[in-house]
C-alpha cells in the first residue's frame, strides 16, 4: 500500500486499490478527472497495477470489456463524477447481456452537494439500473467508519463480478475535498487521530498479502438425477445435432471437444465458439449456415439438438429450429438466462462445462460416425471448394474474400476480434476452417457497432498477443478516437476496415428496395477515407487494390509488429451481388443432394 496517504481520502483510495490487487484484479482503465484523484493516485503509485489511460469514457469501458473477454477476469474502470460514468453505459449493457465481469469505480460528489445545482453533480446511484450484478454507494471517507469497511466492500465487489455468470458491478465512491494529499493537511490534523491508530484493526491484514475476506469459489453442477436424465436422452437419440455457441475460454472448448468425440454427432460451431476456424473434428460442419440455402436441407429434422454456450449468429439456424423443432432441444450454459427465442427448449441445465463432463461422460455410450453424418460433412466440404472458387478466382478485392484470407493468414498466437454487422457474419459464413485461430473476440451481447477498436485493444492487452480487428467503416467512425490508444499500446492491433461508404448490411434487407429513402436514411454514405486519420494517430496505413495486394500488405503489417490500419475499399452493390452469386452457386452445385438419412 502506498505510504503517501496524508488525507483520509488518499488513505481510503489506497485501501481500495490494495484490496483489489490482493484479489488479483490488477488491470485499471483510467479516464482523467478531478473527483477521482484519490483513486487515480493510489493506482498510479501501486507497484503491481497495470494501467491504460483513456480520455473517452465510452472507449475506456469497451477497452475494459475486451480485456475481460480475453482473460475472464474483471478490469476496473475509474472515472470522475457527472456524465463520465454515464458514458460507460453501452459497454455495461454489453457486459451484462454477455456475462462479462467488469468493475466500475465512479467518483462522486458528497451527499450535501446533491440536488443543489453543484457543478458536475448528477444522480449516480442506480445509474445502470438492472444491468449490474451488484452496486454499492461507498460513503465519504471518515474516521468514524472502520477501515475494514472499504476492504470488505471491495471483496464483495470482486466476488459479485466473478460469480457465475459474471457481469458488471458498480461501486460509487463519494469524496469530499481535499482530493489530493497536501503538505498542509495531514491525517494527524484530522480529528486528532493518527494513521497508525486508525489502521490498528488492520495489523494482521497489513502483515500479509492476501485479501481481507476470502470468498470460496462456487461451481454449478446439476443434480445427479438431471445428469442421468441427460445421459439417457443422448444415448437414446438416433439422430442428434451438437450446436456450439459462444464459449468463454479454452477449458470450455476442451470440454466441448471431448463431448463431441464421444457423441460423434455433426457439430455446428458458431464463430464465437473458437471451434469454427480451427477444429480438426471429423464431424464438424463449418458451413452449416450455407446448407440451409437448399430447400432439401430446410426440411431436414433431427430428434435432439444439444446446444452448448451462448446464442448463434446464424439467422437460418433459428428459422430452421422454429419451423422444424426437434423432439428434444437441450441447452447447457453457465448462466440462468433463457436464450430461447424460438421457444423450443425442452431441457435447460445450468452448469460449468468442465465439471459437468466428469459425471456425464462415463454414462454416455460410445458410437461411431454414421453415414448421414459423413454426408453432412462432405456437403460442407463441397461448399468449402465452391467458396474458394467463387471468391479467390478473381483478382478484384471483395469483402467475404477478406474474411477468408484473414482466417488463413493469421499466425498462431495472434488474436482475432470481429466487429458487428457484416465482418462477423462474413467470417462466420466464409472463414476457412483450417486456420490457427482458437480464441475469437466479439461483442454480440447486444450486437452494437460502437467501441470496436477499444475492445480489440483491450482484448490484445488481456491476451498479451497481437490482435487483428475486422471492422466496418461506420463502426470505425463510431470509435475513431480509440486509434489514439493503439499508438502507445504494448500489443499491436491491426485494424482491417471494410470501407463500403456506409451501412453495407442494410443492402441485404428488404428496406433496400425503398429507393426513395434507402441511401440517405440507411445506406448513409459518408465519402470518407481513413488515411489522414491514420496519419494523425501516427499509425501505419495501407490501402490494397487487389486480393494479391491485400495478402502482401497484411503479411507486411504482421511482420512489422506494430499497430496499423488496412483500408479495404469496396462497393456495397457489388458486395450484395457477389454474396448472391456465391449462394446461387452453392445451391446450383448441391441442389441434387438429398437430405441425409
Confidence of residue 594 (pLDDT cuts 50, 70, 90): low
Q: Determine contact, residues 388/444, Cβ cutoff 8 Å.
A: no
Residue 179 shares a structural domain with residue 286: no
Average of pLDDT values for 332-348? Answer: 90
Residue 192 has pLDDT above 50, yes or no: no
Work out whether the CA dihedral 56, 58, 61, 62 comes out positive or negative.
negative
Residue 194 has pLDDT above 60, yes or no: no
The C-alpha cell 485461430 sits at 437
**Which CATH number goes with the domain that contains 41?**
3.40.50.970
Average of pLDDT values for 534-559? Answer: 96
Q: Where are the alpha helices (DSSP H) in 163-294?
A: 195-198, 203-206, 224-236, 250-263, 288-291
Residue 311 shares a structural domain with residue 360: yes
Please report the pLDDT score of residue 525 as a whole number: 86
Distance from C-alpha of 330 to C-alpha of 326, rounded to nearest angstrom: 10
* Three cell numbers, residue 203: 495489523
Residue 278 lies in a domain: yes
Distance from C-alpha of 472 to C-alpha of 358, rounded to nearest angstrom: 42
204-222 CB burial, b ≥16 within 10 A, e <16: ebeeeeebbbeeeeeebbb
Distance from C-alpha of 399 to C-alpha of 419, rounded to nearest angstrom: 14
Q: Would you tell me how many other CB atoms lie within 10 Å of the CB of residue 384?
A: 17
Distance from C-alpha of 269 to C-alpha of 395, rounded to nearest angstrom: 30
| Dihedral pair phi/psi, residue 160, rounded to 5° | -65, -35
Between 20-29, 87-96, 435-444, 579-588, the lowest mean confidence (pLDDT) is in 435-444
Residue 512 has pLDDT above 80, yes or no: no
Please report the pLDDT score of residue 506 as a whole number: 79
Residue 51 shares a structural domain with residue 91: yes
Average of pLDDT values for 100-129? Answer: 90
* Three cell numbers, residue 528: 470518407
Please report the pLDDT score of residue 593 as a whole number: 64
Neighbour-count burial of 350, counting CB atoms closer than 10 A to its CB (0-12 exposed, 13-18 middle, 19+ buried): middle
Closest CA to 419 of 390, 459, 465: 459
Residue 18 lies in a domain: yes
Residue 23 shares a structural domain with residue 165: yes
Residue 521 shares a structural domain with residue 575: yes
| Dihedral pair phi/psi, residue 205, rounded to 5° | -65, -40
Residue 597 lies in a domain: no
Residue 189 has pLDDT above 70, yes or no: no
* Residue finishing a domain among 338, 369, 400: 369
Residue 199 shares a structural domain with residue 331: no
Residue 452 shares a structural domain with residue 486: yes
407-425 CB burial, b ≥16 within 10 A, e <16: bbbbeeebbbbbbbbbbbb
CA angle 135, 420, 553 (to 5 degrees): 125
The C-alpha cell 429434422 sits at 301
- Strand, coil or helix: what is 442? strand
Distance from C-alpha of 11 to C-alpha of 199, rounded to nearest angstrom: 10
Please report the pLDDT score of residue 487 as a whole number: 85
Residue 215 lies in a domain: no
Model confidence over 251-291: pLDDT tens digits? 899 999 999 999 999 999 999 999 999 778 899 999 999 99
Please report the pLDDT score of residue 1 as a whole number: 56
Please report the pLDDT score of residue 334 as a whole number: 86
Residue 40 has pLDDT above 90, yes or no: yes
Work out whether the CA dihedral 214, 217, 223, 226 comes out positive or negative.
positive
Residue 219 lies in a domain: no
Distance from C-alpha of 268 to C-alpha of 491, rounded to nearest angstrom: 33
CA torsion 181-183-185-188 (nearest 10°) is: 100
CA torsion 510-513-515-521 (nearest 10°) is: 10
Please report the pLDDT score of residue 557 as a whole number: 96
Average of pLDDT values for 514-529? Answer: 85
* Residue finishing a domain among 206, 239, 265: 206
Residue 395 has pLDDT above 80, yes or no: yes
Distance from C-alpha of 425 to C-alpha of 584, rounded to nearest angstrom: 18
Residue 391 shares a structural domain with residue 437: yes
Residue 202 shares a structural domain with residue 234: no
- Indicate the number of domains in the chain: 3
Q: Where are the alpha helices (DSSP H) in 116-243?
A: 148-162, 195-198, 203-206, 224-236
Residue 116 shares a structural domain with residue 261: no
Please report the pLDDT score of residue 165 as a whole number: 86
The C-alpha cell 453543484 sits at 118
Please report the pLDDT score of residue 3 as a whole number: 45
Express as a percent the part of the chain with pLDDT over 70: 96
Q: Would you tell me how many other CB atoms lie within 10 Å of the CB of residue 165?
A: 18
Closest CA to 522 of 545, 501, 547, 539: 501
Average of pLDDT values for 352-359? Answer: 92
Closest CA to 56 of 27, 16, 88: 88
Looking at per-residue confidence, does 434 or 25 come out higher?
Answer: 25
Residue 277 shares a structural domain with residue 402: no
Could you tell me how far CA 109 lies from the centroid of its own chain? Answer: 32
Please report the pLDDT score of residue 6 as a whole number: 66
Distance from C-alpha of 264 to C-alpha of 363, rounded to nearest angstrom: 15
Confidence of residue 223 (pLDDT cuts 50, 70, 90): very high
Residue 358 shares a structural domain with residue 503: no
Domain extent for 327: 224-369
Distance from C-alpha of 345 to C-alpha of 337, rounded to nearest angstrom: 12
**Which CATH number goes with the domain that contains 248?**
3.40.50.1220
Residue 212 lies in a domain: no
Residue 409 lies in a domain: yes
* Residue finishing a domain among 326, 342, 369: 369
Query: pTM for the full model?
Result: 0.93
Strand order in the sheet with 564-569: 440-442, 415-418, 467-472, 493-499, 564-569, 540-542
Average of pLDDT values for 431-454? Answer: 88
| Dihedral pair phi/psi, residue 519, rounded to 5° | -65, -50
Q: Determine contact, residues 32/53, Cβ cutoff 8 Å.
A: yes
Residue 191 has pLDDT above 60, yes or no: no
Residue 508 lies in a domain: yes
Amino acid at each position: 500500500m502506498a505510504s503517501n496517504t496524508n488525507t483520509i481520502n488518499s488513505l481510503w483510495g489506497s485501501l481500495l486499490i490494495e484490496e483489489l490487487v490482493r484479489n488479483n484484479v490488477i488491470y485499471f482503465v483510467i479516464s482523467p478527472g478531478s473527483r477521482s484523484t484519490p483513486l487515480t493516485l493510489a493506482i498510479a503509485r501501486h507497484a503491481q497495477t497495470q494501467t491504460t489511460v483513456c480520455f473517452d469514457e465510452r472507449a475506456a469501458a469497451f477497452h475494459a470489456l475486451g480485456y475481460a473477454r480475453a482473460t475472464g477476469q474483471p478490469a476496473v474502470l475509474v472515472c470522475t463524477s457527472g456524465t463520465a460514468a454515464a458514458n460507460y453505459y453501452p459497454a455495461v449493457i454489453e457486459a451484462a447481456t454477455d456475462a462479462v465481469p467488469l468493475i466500475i469505480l465512479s467518483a462522486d460528489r458528497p451527499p450535501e452537494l446533491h440536488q443543489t445545482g453543484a457543478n458536475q453533480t448528477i444522480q449516480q446511484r442506480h445509474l445502470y439500473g438492472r444491468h449490474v450484478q451488484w452496486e454499492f454507494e461507498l460513503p465519504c471517507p471518515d474516521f468514524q467508519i472502520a477501515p475494514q469497511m472499504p476492504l470488505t466492500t471491495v471483496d464483495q465487489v470482486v466476488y459479485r463480478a466473478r460469480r457465475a455468470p459474471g457481469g458488471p458491478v458498480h461501486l460509487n465512491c463519494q469524496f469530499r475535498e481535499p482530493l489530493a494529499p497536501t503538505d498542509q493537511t495531514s491525517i494527524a490534523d484530522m480529528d486528532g487521530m493518527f494513521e497508525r491508530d486508525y489502521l490498528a484493526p488492520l495489523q494482521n491484514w497489513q502483515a500479509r498479502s492476501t485479501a481481507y475476506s476470502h470468498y470460496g469459489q462456487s461451481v454449478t453442477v446439476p443434480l445427479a438425477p438431471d445428469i442421468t436424465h441427460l445421459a439417457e436422452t443422448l444415448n437414446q437419440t438416433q439422430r442428434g445435432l451438437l450446436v456450439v455457441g459462444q464459449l468463454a475460454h479454452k477449458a470450455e472448448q476442451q470440454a466441448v471437444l471431448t463431448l463431441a468425440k464421444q457423441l460423434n454427432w455433426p457439430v455446428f460451431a458458431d464463430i464465437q465458439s473458437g471451434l469454427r476456424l480451427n477444429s480438426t473434428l471429423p464431424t464438424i460442419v463449418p458451413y452449416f449456415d450455407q446448407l440451409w440455402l437448399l430447400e432439401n436441407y430446410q426440411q431436414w429434422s433431427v430428434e435432439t439438438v444439444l446446444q452448448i454456450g451462448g446464442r448463434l449468429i446464424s439467422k437460418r439456424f433459428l428459422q430452421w429450429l422454429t419451423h422444424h423443432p426437434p423432439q428434444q432441444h437441450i441447452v447447457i450454459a453457465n448462466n440462468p438466462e433463457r436464450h430461447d427465442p424460438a421457444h423450443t427448449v425442452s431441457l435447460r441445465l445450468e452448469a460449468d462445462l468442465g465439471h459437468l463432463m466428469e459425471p456425464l461422460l462415463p454414462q454416455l455410450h460410445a458410437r461411431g460416425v454414421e453415414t448421414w453424418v459423413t454426408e453432412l460433412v462432405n456437403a460442407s466440404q463441397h461448399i468449402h471448394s465452391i467458396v474458394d472458387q467463387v471468391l479467390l478466382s478473381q483478382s478484384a478485392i471483395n469483402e467475404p474474400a477478406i474474411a477468408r484470407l484473414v482466417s488463413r493468414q493469421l499466425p498462431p498466437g495472434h488474436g482475432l476480434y470481429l466487429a458487428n454487422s457484416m465482418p462477423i457474419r462474413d467470417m462466420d459464413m466464409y472463414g476457412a476452417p483450417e486456420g490457427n485461430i482458437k480464441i475469437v473476440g466479439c461483442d454480440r451481447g447486444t450486437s452494437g457497432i460502437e467501441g470496436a477498436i477499444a475492445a480489440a485493444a483491450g482484448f490484445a492487452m488481456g491476451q498479451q498477443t497481437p490482435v487483428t480487428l475486422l471492422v466496418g467503416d461506420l463502426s470505425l467512425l463510431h470509435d475513431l478516437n480509440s486509434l489514439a490508444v493503439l499508438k502507445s499500446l504494448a500489443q499491436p492491433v491491426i485494424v482491417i476496415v471494410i470501407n463500403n461508404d456506409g451501412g453495407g448490411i442494410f443492402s441485404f434487407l428488404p428496406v433496400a428496395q425503398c429507393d426513395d429513402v434507402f441511401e440517405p436514411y440507411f445506406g448513409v454514405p459518408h465519402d470518407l477515407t481513413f488515411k489522414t486519420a491514420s496519419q494523425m494517430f501516427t499509425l501505419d496505413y495501407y490501402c490494397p487494390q487487389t486480393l494479391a495486394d491485400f495478402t502482401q500488405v497484411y503479411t507486411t503489417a504482421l511482420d512489422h509488429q506494430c499497430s496499423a490500419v488496412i483500408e479495404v475499399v469496396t462497393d456495397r452493390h457489388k458486395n450484395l451481388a457477389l454474396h448472391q452469386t456465391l449462394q446461387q452457386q452453392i445451391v446450383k452445385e448441391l441442389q441434387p443432394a438429398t437430405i441425409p438419412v
